[in-house]
Amino acid sequence: MNATLSQRDPRQCRACDNIRGNKTVGKHFDVYECARCKAIFGTCYLGESYVMVKPWMTSENVPPENQRYYDFTTIGSDGIGRRHGWYDVNSGLITQVG
Ligand SMILES: [Zn+2]
């Protein structure tokens, strides 16, 4: 896993570096989903990031195939932040931070 905050092409996946086929996620025009590994990543408001990945951990034992990497640069009232880790695609809950 080579996730970095360094600004490259914003479409470039922060997990696997793929660019080809990556598309924006819904109305989140600076957030992309990787066509290769299905990670979601990009820059958005902190509140928007909570719509995609909730701010809580899951208590379930989520199988790896249902987990995706996420890496958001967030814009909030406290300034620029970062949320990253793994989440459950079914519940939107965090399975692992960082
Ligand atoms: Zn990827």
pLDDT > 90: percent of the chain:
87
Dist. CA 41 → ligand 1 center (Å): 9
User: Which pLDDT value is given to residue 5?
Assistant: 56
Dist. CA 37 → ligand 1 center (Å): 4
Distance CA 12, CA 16 (A): 8
Dist. CA 86 → ligand 1 center (Å): 13
Condensed to tens digits (0 to 9), the pLDDT of residues 15-62 reads 999 999 999 997 777 999 999 999 999 999 999 999 999 999 999 999
Task: Please give the C-alpha separations between residue 89 and each of 8, 10, 21, in angstroms, as whole numbers.
Answer: 26, 22, 20
Dist. CA 22 → ligand 1 center (Å): 8
Whole-model pTM?
A: 0.88
